[in-house]
Structure 1
Amino acid sequence: MFKSLHPNIRLRLCVTFLSRLSGSMIFPFIAIYFSRELGTTVAGGIVMTQVTVELLASFVGGYWADRIGRKPLLVIGECLNAFAFLGMLLANSLWWSSAGVTFAMLLLIGIATGLLNPAADAMLIDVSTKETRTYMYSINYWTRNISLMLGLMVGGWFFQNHLFGLLFVLFSMSLITLTITLLFIRETYDRHHPVTVPASNGLHAVLSSYRTVVRDIPFVWFTLGGIAIYALEFQRVNFISIRLEHEIAARTVRLFDFPPFTLDGVKLMSLLTVENTLLIVLLVSFAAKLIRNRSEQPVMYVGFTLFGLGYAYLAFSNQIAGLFLAVIVLTIGELLYVPTRQTMLASIVDESKRGSYMAFNGLVVQVGKMFGALGLFVGGLVGDIGMGLLYLLFAIMAIGLSRLGYVKWNRQTKAMKMPAAIIKS
């Protein structure tokens, strides 16, 4: 079935795999770099600034993707990435080191990512059909996880002492992805489609474009449902990881005939993360076949439920076997809801403003990260059991808000298709 996908989809999957593979060797550890060079407080501020810049750039990128097309934004983003990676390479070479230049290049990477991601998301929708989207998003999810896993393994081993070599790989990969984008990816933007974005190009025009998106009530409800589920996603690296670090005492563990090793909360969290990633890599193809040709709504709601149950158990339990079982449960939920939610999202966005809609949908991840950080504060107030109940509430909210948005969109769509005479009666 992979060969039946549009060539742009196959190329974007390859580009995404290469970019994430090389990027995950470095960027998950970038806070460690700035903490070592400038201090922990400054490092936190730098990471937050980069996230903010990327979010703002994504709104501009989404707007322009609906005005000049998808490919120009992809090419601009890849060019900026290549330039930024070269700057980071030179600023961390054997003859020169500059944390300030590295920070500036990191901001440029945030701008590049914000510009190209909405265009890339819109392009995938442009050249896919309702029948192929679930499969497409399942494969995209698989490539994301396997590239992340491989990149983290390489980066964790070489980041501390071989940063220059990793940056050279990152820069080389960026040249490859730029070449693929420039020479082989075709424009998918329909210039004959009625344009609904403003004719001017200033800040007011950008804001006016997104004002229309915000007024799309079904889409907003659906987005809020996504925020609720992503608020759970980012608890793992916040409240849950800190809780396990504090509550799981170091102990000697022996598995089968392997040599005994010491297991503490931090190592346990790493093992749970590896389990989650491996399960996704191994089962995503099976899950894609399982949910193919099935109604997306019930599959997504089951996924939300399993995801919430798994995280609720992680919030309070210290039983190691139970924690590993909970990860299996939440991973199954993840495999069910991720492709089905993406497929439903692709259906409800306005075709003439896909770039803007996908940029706005980026709030799901960014606001989810904020809720993840707030989990540290809330956990201190309500305790482990309280957090588990809160996670279940978030899952219920994800189901309710997503269903509300999708049902409203369905009703609007049916009403628009009704003959005018019937509507007036």
Structure 2
Amino acid sequence: MFKTLHPNIRARILIQFLSKVVGSMIFPFMAVYFTNELNSGIAGILVTVNVIIQFIAGIYGGHLTDLFGRRQLMIAGEALKSVAYLGMLLANSPMLHSVWLTFLMMLVVSVAQGMINPAADAMLIDVSTVENRAFMYSISYWVNNLSVLIGVMVGGWFFQSHLFLLLIALFLLSLLTTALTVRLLSETLAKQKRTVGNVGITAVFKSYQKVMHDHRFLLFTLGGIALMTVEYQRNNFVSVRLAEELKHLTVNLGALGELSLDGVRILSLLTAVNTSMIILFTGPIAKWVTGQAQRRIMYIGFLLFSTGYAVTAFSNQLLVLFTATVIFSFGELLYVPTRQTILAEIIDESSRGSYVAFNGIIFQLGKILASLSLMISPAIGKYGMAALIVTMGILAILLTNTSLTLKKAPSAEKLTDL
């Protein structure tokens, strides 16, 4: 069935895999990089600024893609990323070491991603159909997790000792993805649909007015933000804590010898367990929850997800950490398909593109809140962070439930039985 997908879809999945697999060797560990070079407080500020820039760029990029087309914006973004990766490479080379140039280049990457992501998402919708869209997103989700699994495993082992070599690989792959974008992708926004509109800030806000007046959807989105605040602790507080508290750990493997671990390598193993479970069980779990009481399963998923992450915020026992990872992985498997199903039901079909685009802010604001929590972590400690993570999980349930119990629009009456 993959061969029946539009060539743009197949090309985009390939480009996404190549870009993600190398990027995952580096960017999940940048909070550790800035903490080692500076301190956790400044690291939290830098990560927060970076996420805010990407959020603003994404909102603006969504507006620009309807003005100038998908392909043009994606090519510009890929080319800009190549320039930024070259800058990061030089900033961490034997000739130069500059944490601030590295940070500046990260900001450029964020701007580039803000151009690429909405254009790519819009292009996928342009060339997919109702019949193959679910399959397309399933393949994309699976490939994304596989690339993260490979990237984080390699990065966890080599990030701190071979960062320069990883950056070389990242730069070379970025040149390849830029070339593939130019060669394989065709424009999907019809010329007659392009508008010579205002590229100013006012025009951007106008396109989101309808969404901002849908209080039910906004509450649902706030619940998603609370949940993503939990998820992005892995690349913020959890990664920094493990790197600081577990510097030298030797595991006896019996006849196989001994395995030397540190916090970053442990994080990569935990991420590998999580991603492997997602890859193996997404299909069966999604099939099982179909026809079930969606809201109840979603809330159970929220609880398991936040509880598992809370344990990783304070425990240093390997068995406990891996058990907690299995728990939050099952929570993720439960809430992802159910939340997506409910989301599809509550959005206004006449403005589906705007609603889906706006829902994307849960990831960016989740990253911002997670990075802010890294800044306050020295004050509240790891047990305080664990309590904060559980609180965010409960808040996600309360906000989502409040949203779904508000008066429904006529088109959403079928949610009653979810």
TM tier, smaller: 0.7 to 0.9
> How far did 1:117 drift?
1.2
User: Is 1:21 paired with 2:21?
Assistant: yes
Q: What are the superposed Cα offsets for residues 286-331 of structure 1, whole Å, 9 maximum, x if unpaired?
A: 4455456778655544432432343355466676545433321211
Q: Structure 2 CA distance, aligned partners of 1:40 and 1:159?
A: 18
Q: What are the superposed Cα offsets for residues 152-179 of structure 1, whole Å, 9 maximum, x if unpaired?
A: 3333444456544433322222232223
C-alpha contact (below 8 Å) 1:221/1:404 kept by paired residues: yes
Aligned ranges 1:60-209 → 2 under 5 Å: 60-90=60-90, 92=92, 101-128=101-128, 132-160=132-160, 162-189=162-189, 199-209=197-207
C-alpha contact (below 8 Å) 1:234/1:369 kept by paired residues: yes
Q: What are the superposed Cα offsets for residues 393-423 of structure 1, whole Å, 9 maximum, x if unpaired?
A: 53344344335545769624258xxxxxxxx
Q: Structure 2 CA distance, aligned partners of 1:138 and 1:172?
A: 28
Residue 416 of structure 2: aligned partner? none
C-alpha contact (below 8 Å) 1:310/1:329 kept by paired residues: yes
Q: What are the superposed Cα offsets for residues 41-74 of structure 1, whole Å, 9 maximum, x if unpaired?
A: 6655443332222111111111222333333322
Residue 228 of structure 2: aligned partner? 230
Question: Higher mean Cα deviation, 304-313 or 108-117?
Answer: 304-313
In structure 2, give the amino acid aligned to 1:77. Answer: G
In structure 1, give the amino acid aligned to 2:279. Answer: V
User: In structure 2, do the counterparts of structure 1 residues 100 and 360 end up closer, same or farther at CA, with 3 Å as the change threshold?
Assistant: same
Aligned ranges 1:332-347 → 2 under 5 Å: 332-342=330-340, 344-345=342-343
Q: Structure 1 CA distance, aligned partners of 2:69 and 2:219?
A: 27
User: Is 1:221 paired with 2:208?
Assistant: no
Q: Structure 2 CA distance, aligned partners of 1:293 and 1:135?
A: 19
C-alpha contact (below 8 Å) 1:309/1:392 kept by paired residues: yes
User: In structure 2, do the counterparts of structure 1 residues 300 and 260 end up closer, same or farther at CA, with 3 Å as the change threshold?
Assistant: same
Q: What are the superposed Cα offsets for residues 237-274 of structure 1, whole Å, 9 maximum, x if unpaired?
A: 55556777898898765346433457787765554333
In structure 1, give the amino acid aligned to 2:209. Answer: R
Q: Structure 2 CA distance, aligned partners of 1:37 and 1:388?
A: 26
Q: Structure 1 CA distance, aligned partners of 2:342 and 2:108?
A: 32
Aligned-pair RMSD on alpha carbons? Answer: 4.2
Q: What are the superposed Cα offsets for residues 89-118 of structure 1, whole Å, 9 maximum, x if unpaired?
A: 455556666655544332221111111112
User: In structure 2, do the counterparts of structure 1 residues 175 and 297 end up closer, same or farther at CA, with 3 Å as the change threshold?
Assistant: farther
User: In structure 2, do the counterparts of structure 1 residues 341 and 123 end up closer, same or farther at CA, with 3 Å as the change threshold?
Assistant: farther
C-alpha contact (below 8 Å) 2:156/2:264 kept by paired residues: no
C-alpha contact (below 8 Å) 1:63/1:356 kept by paired residues: no
Q: Structure 1 CA distance, aligned partners of 2:207 and 2:159?
A: 42
User: In structure 2, do the counterparts of structure 1 residues 317 and 342 end up closer, same or farther at CA, with 3 Å as the change threshold?
Assistant: same
Q: How many residues align?
A: 412
User: In structure 2, do the counterparts of structure 1 residues 189 and 403 end up closer, same or farther at CA, with 3 Å as the change threshold?
Assistant: farther
User: In structure 2, do the counterparts of structure 1 residues 314 and 134 end up closer, same or farther at CA, with 3 Å as the change threshold?
Assistant: farther
Residue 422 of structure 1: aligned partner? none
User: Which structure has the greater CA radius of gyration?
Assistant: 1
Question: Higher mean Cα deviation, 125-134 or 180-189?
Answer: 125-134
Q: Structure 2 CA distance, aligned partners of 1:109 and 1:232?
A: 24
- Where structure 1 has 5 or more consecutive residues not aligned to the other structure, the ranges are 416-425
Aligned ranges 1:253-332 → 2 under 5 Å: 253-255=251-253, 257-260=255-258, 269-291=267-289, 299-314=297-312, 321-332=319-330
C-alpha contact (below 8 Å) 1:276/1:331 kept by paired residues: yes
- TM-score (structure 1 length as normaliser): 0.77
User: Is 1:55 paired with 2:55?
Assistant: yes
Question: Higher mean Cα deviation, 294-303 or 70-79?
Answer: 294-303
> How far did 1:29 drift?
4.0
In structure 1, give the amino acid aligned to 2:225. Answer: I
Aligned ranges 1:244-255 → 2 under 5 Å: 253-255=251-253
In structure 1, give the amino acid aligned to 2:322. Answer: F
User: In structure 2, do the counterparts of structure 1 residues 4 and 330 end up closer, same or farther at CA, with 3 Å as the change threshold?
Assistant: farther
Match of 1:66, SS state, is helix
In structure 1, give the amino acid aligned to 2:105. Answer: M
> How far did 1:191 drift?
6.5
Identity %: 47
Q: Structure 1 CA distance, aligned partners of 2:38 and 2:243?
A: 25
Q: Structure 2 CA distance, aligned partners of 1:405 and 1:198?
A: 37
Q: Structure 1 CA distance, aligned partners of 2:380 and 2:98?
A: 41
Q: What are the superposed Cα offsets for residues 372-403 of structure 1, whole Å, 9 maximum, x if unpaired?
A: 3455647965984x766654553344344335
Match of 1:200, SS state, is coil
Question: Higher mean Cα deviation, 7-16 or 156-165?
Answer: 156-165
Residue 418 of structure 1: aligned partner? none
User: In structure 2, do the counterparts of structure 1 residues 65 and 343 end up closer, same or farther at CA, with 3 Å as the change threshold?
Assistant: farther
- TM-score (structure 2 length as normaliser): 0.78
Question: Higher mean Cα deviation, 116-125 or 296-305?
Answer: 296-305
> How far did 1:19 drift?
0.6
Q: What are the superposed Cα offsets for residues 21-48 of structure 1, whole Å, 9 maximum, x if unpaired?
A: 1212333344565567677766554433
C-alpha contact (below 8 Å) 2:142/2:279 kept by paired residues: yes
User: In structure 2, do the counterparts of structure 1 residues 268 and 29 end up closer, same or farther at CA, with 3 Å as the change threshold?
Assistant: closer
User: In structure 2, do the counterparts of structure 1 residues 227 and 177 end up closer, same or farther at CA, with 3 Å as the change threshold?
Assistant: same
C-alpha contact (below 8 Å) 1:121/1:358 kept by paired residues: no
In structure 2, give the amino acid aligned to 1:306. Answer: L
C-alpha contact (below 8 Å) 2:301/2:330 kept by paired residues: yes
